[in-house]
Copies of this chain bind each other. A is one copy, B any other.
Amino acid sequence: MSEGDLAGEIRSICEGARRAAHVLAVTGAEEKNAALCEIADELERSMDVVIESNALDLDAGREAGLSAALIDRLALNGQRIHEMAQGLRDVSALRDPVGEVLEGWRLPNGLVIEKVRVPLGVVGIIYEARPNVTVDAAGLCLKSGNAVVLRGSDSARNSNRVLVELMRRAGAAAGLPADAVQLIGVSGRDAAREMMRMHGLIDVLIPRGGEGLIRTVVENSTVPVIETGVGNCHVYVDEGADVEMAVAIVVNAKTQRPGVCNAAETLLVHREIAGGFLPAVWTPLSEKGVTLKADEAARAILPEAGEATEEDWMTEYLDLVLAVRVVDGLDEAIEHINRYGSHHSDAIVTRDWERARRFQREVDSAAVYVNASTRFTDGAVFGMGAEIGISTQKLHARGPMSLPELTSTKFIINGDGQVR
């Protein structure tokens, strides 16, 4: 396809979404909820077709030599499809954020001003591999009154095509505009790049995937972006910390699910407690298969550890590897975290009131923990009902994003003929 044709096709897809967004913005909660449940039912009714299309992707993936982990992320089966359907039903039961009056006041001249939640409009999502994101993301966007333009990875193209077709069909049967869910199915990177240029047609672009994807979107998008996901998370074990608690938190934060963004990547230990703490934490970590990359002071205590370089402080391993550094105190810990971290989730284990408060104030991250595992940073776990991603930027939303984060606001001003 020529560059002009491609741009035209992407633009026409986005224009369809924009028209649908105008309808969705004034669609009531009952109608949106009914559509989500209809899509859930249709997903379960169409299970065989979905699994067949997914099998094509899996075959192609194996032929292309995808790793077992990636094949697993790509795979759909009966249970996963039921979970996707249940996810939609759960979202339908959440409160509709649209129309919420956030604040309001009356001016001396009698004008009444209200700030009201409205949908963003058209949400673009660029994501990798997992086809369940196709359904989860569309469900959250529809519930919050937004049209969605999806750009999945080429490796899931057959699954995504079938999933989007069935969502459009079921949504339309329930009275939503079919174009409320759009898929950019053209393969290759140019299609994603064109999507990033749709300023005015897409209101926000959310990349979900690895650091490379997110950087590409930030570099190239004229559409406003919400950066998500990269998590170089820290646990700092303070002087005088409860060693048993600190061991439990570090082991949980590193090993409970090492491949996710809220898993810990670096352990910082106060010099005074390092001699007792590091051997205590090493036993359970080594039993779980964790290897360490440590600075000199930590290696003096744990000769089993490998050598850490500057690079390690910046690395999101997403694996059973933990960087370890001995620090002189809270100042050095905070400085390390703010300098090398990704501002995602960071924890202190301490018994000291003042240092806990300083850590909360001075660590510049989306989620700052005192005496708890970083693994809790998640929309569902936080009790927000659902999650479209975890923002690591400061604009618009920070931390887990749910339905309210998929909305904007507008001011409604009611008068009796007031002029200035």
Give A contacts to B, CB under 8 Å: 22, 25-26, 105, 107, 111, 113, 118, 120-121, 199, 203-204, 218-219, 222, 224-226, 242, 245, 248-249, 251-253, 256, 338, 360-362, 364-373, 375-377, 381-383, 393-396, 398-400, 408-420
Q: Take A361-B26, A419-B373 as given contacts and tell me if A218 and B199 are in contact as well, using a CB distance cutoff of 8 Å.
A: yes
* Cβ contact within 8 Å between B413 and A367: yes
Residues on B with beta carbons closer than 8 Å to the beta carbon of A399:
409-411
Chain B residues, Cβ within 8 Å of A415: 369-372
CB distance from A337 to the nearest CB of B (A): 12
| B408 lies within 8 A of A398 (CB) | yes
A156 to B204, CA, bound (A): 35
- Report the bound CA distance from A386 to B135 in whole Å: 43
B371 touches A417 (CB 8 A): yes
Give chain B residues whose Cβ lies under 8 Å from the Cβ of A416: 371-372
Out of B253, B364, B394, B413, name the residue touching A372 (CB < 8 Å): B413
Alpha-carbon gap, A409 to B364, bound state (A): 10
Contact between chains at B224 and A393 (CB < 8 Å): yes
Q: Which residues of B contact A113 (CB under 8 A)?
A: 382-383
Which residues on the B side are within 8 Å of A242 (C-beta)?
417
Partner of A368, one of B111, B218, B396, B411: B411
Q: Which residues of B contact A224 (CB under 8 A)?
A: 224-225, 393, 395
